[in-house]
Structures are given as C-alpha cells and as structure tokens.
Amino acid sequence: MTQLLLSSAVKGYVFACTEASQKECFDRKLFGTSKLYGAAAIRVKKGDFLFLLNLDSDLLYGVFKATTEAGFNIVPEAWNGKYPYQIKVEPLGEIVPLKDAKKLLKKLGVGRSSLMGRTAVLKILELYRPSNVPMNNWYQFLTQSEGSQSLSVSFEPKTWQLFGQIQRTKEEENEEVPQLQATTLWDFPKQSYGKTPKGDNKYAGVTPAELIWNLVWRYTEPGDLVVDPMCGSGTTLDVCREEGRKAICYDIAPPPSRSDIIQNDAREIPLPDNHVDLVFVDSPYGDNIRYNDQPDCIGKISSETKRFYDELEKVMKECHRILKPGKVLGWLIGDQWVKKEFTPVGFLLYERLLKYFETVDIITIVRRGQASHTGLWYNRARRFNFYLRGFKYLFIMRKPLLKKKENKNQRTINWTYYERNNKS
C-alpha cells in the first residue's frame, strides 16, 4: 500500500491561521489565505492532504483532506473577507496538533508559497500515525477515507522530534510557483515557469511568463478578464489559464501561431467599452525584428518615425476604451540603437500613454536571450564605444476612475513680484 501511495500524484499544502481565526477554520471546515499566498493555494485540488499551521501557538494540525477544488470567495463572509482564496475541508479521523511546527516545516523545506511534493507529504503523514495503527493500515485509511462529518481535536500535542531524522525534501518535488516581485527591477532568467511551458521560447520577442504572472496576480482576481492584443506565441493565454483568469488574445499574424489566438489588428479591438480587467501589450519596438508577413504590422514601421508612435497611439486608445475604469494596462517596450543612432522608444511611447492613463509605476525588465548577448558583441561594444540594450521598460498605467472636469469657477491667483535691489 505504501508503494502504491508513493507512486501516485500525492500533494499537500499548509494553510495558516492565528488564535483569532483558528476557530472559524474549524467551525466552517474552511481554510483560506490572502493574495500573498493565493497563487499556491488555488492549485490545491480535491483530495489533496491539507494541514493547518497556527502561527501563534506554533502547532500544525492534521490530517485534513480537500473536499472541493480551491476557489475564490467560496464563503465571501468568512474572516470578514480577509482570506478570499479558500477551500472546503474534512478531517481524516481525530485532528492532532504537532509541536514546533515552524521548525518541522523548515527542516522539510516546506513553505506557504508552494504545494508539497509526495515525499514531504508522506513524511508529515507518518508523524500523525497513531502508535497502535500499523503503517499500511494508516495509509489505507488516509487514502480511502471520505472524511469525518464531525471534527474532533486532540488536546495533547505530539512531539515530532521522537521520530528520528527529518530531512529536507528535494526542491524539484514541489510545484514551482513564482513570487510577486517587490522592487522595480525584474529579472527572469527563464522564459517560462512550472511544469508546463507558457508560450514558445523560440518565438521572436517572446515575453517572460513570470512578467505576465506578476501583472495578473497584482491587478486581477480569479475569473477576471485579461486581454493581450499583440500576443505572439500565446504566453498570456497559458499564464491566465493556469492562474484561473479568462483571457482573450489577438495577433495580426495571418494565421496566428496557434488556434486559440484570434487574428485581429490591435488598432480595432472587437470588445465593448469598459469590459476588461487587465490589458497587457508587448508591442514591436520598431522594424528591427521580422514578426510576420502581414503588410499592416506595426513592426514594419521604423521607430525613428512619427508614424510608428501614431499607430501605437491607436492601440492605446483601444486599450483605454475596453478597460474598466480604475483597471490597469501593462505595456512592455524597449529602446533602439541602430547604425550609431539611439532612439528613446520608451520615453516617446510613455509620452503618448500619459494622454490616456495615470502612471502606477515604471518597471525595469532585464533583457535576456538577446542575439547580441554574446562575447563577440560585448567585445564590439567596448571596442567601438557603444552600449548593448540591457533592459526594457514595463509601463504600468491605470485608466482613471472619473474624467476630471474643468472647474470654471476655480479662483486664479495673481502673484505679485517684487524687484530686488542687487547688492554688491
């Protein structure tokens, strides 16, 4: 029975509570967490093993089983709305607390930002095994039990240190979940994340998946609608599907790179006004890359010309139109240096964006995977006294909530200026 469990896709997750919130967790048979850990929590599936960490008492309560898929606001009024990423649970027998929980989880390499792999789950499950129950019977009970209707909690915490060596599990067993970036410098060494690819890392100008992930998790909730009007190989689609968001993605290429991308020109987006929760745009930076054979592609226009920015401004107007008031646009762009001529594409684009949006922040994205990032080009840059492009801009802009009206009755102030005598 043990071997059967070891070979199956066993996963687990640790939810947290405090002395103030623990009773509600037990009474409702509901675990929840905040947005900070929401990306990991919504990956919990029905049947996964769950544990509840009391941050105040340092006790780890188990064993529970998820009886639903994780969701957003399953019980909206729970914990006064503070922990909307939730899952319904059932106890597997009597619930027992383990002492020194934080030390235990640290030893196992288990954090709240990722699911536990099967090795870590099995080690924790073994700690909860009643001393009078053989191991095979314990695993059989846990894997076949439908859960208890009533919840009984032991008042006698167990000491896990008596169970011999507790070693850290291999990190590759845990499902990789990105973390929110905390500064305005974002660096993504890999194009994708997790076990499934996002987009095509061979596609010209492909967007780092974690960049889109950060925008999605900062500015949307599960079920919100994300639009990418220049989506290329579909990175935005893949990220949104994995993170529980709806996505509509367009590209001008005939035909698009995949069947779930709609062929469309970003200068005319076929969506209603005030309809979308987030728009992400990774537009051409000029005519330095051949994107497709569509003659109307903006990527065929030089960024050294006014026409390039005029055409991108049409895209800005459409993004502004379809966004709900107060919602966010993320626009990725880079500067250009060609034939000894520098073009501040980012600054020129940002000047146009300010006509329609308010600035949330400006992020610097480290450029990786560029054809010029080789020893040969680094040597040329030093010899001939020029710079390789090392970063892109991510402009995070918000559609204003209300259009500001000019106050015709606003008083004007007439300043009086006094001449000063020059003193030698």
**pLDDT tens by residue, 191-229:** 999 888 999 988 887 899 999 999 999 999 999 999 999
Percent of the chain with pLDDT over 90: 62
Q: Where in the chain is the domain with CATH 3.40.50.150?
A: 185-398
Q: Angle CA(395)–CA(299)–CA(398) in degrees, nearest 5? A: 20
Mean pLDDT of the chain: 88
**pLDDT tens by residue, 39-61:** 999 999 999 999 999 999 999 99
Could you give the CA distance from residue 388 to residue 380 in angstroms, rounded to a whole number? 10
Could you give the CA distance from residue 253 to residue 74 in angstroms, rounded to a whole number? 40
Distances 225 to 74, 184, 401, 418 between C-alpha atoms, Å = 19, 25, 18, 58
Nearest to 352 by CA among 389, 324, 327, 320: 320
- Ramachandran region, residue 65 (left: φ > 0; alpha: ψ -120 to 50; beta: rest): beta
pLDDT higher than 60, residue 410 = no
pLDDT higher than 50, residue 7 = no
Instruction: Note the pLDDT of residue 411.
Output: 57
Question: Per CATH, is 185-398 categorized as 3.40.50.150?
Answer: yes
Could you give the CA distance from residue 62 to residue 90 in angstroms, rounded to a whole number? 10
User: Where does 206-303 show beta strands of DSSP type E?
Assistant: 225-228, 246-251, 262-263, 276-282
Q: Where in the chain is the domain with CATH 3.10.590.10?
A: 2-173
pLDDT band at 133 (very low <50, low <70, confident <90, very high): confident
Helix H or strand E segment including 31: strand 30-33
CB-based contact 400:360 (threshold 8 Å): no
Could you give the CA distance from residue 299 to residue 379 in angstroms, rounded to a whole number? 29
Question: Per CATH, is 2-173 categorized as 3.10.590.10?
Answer: yes
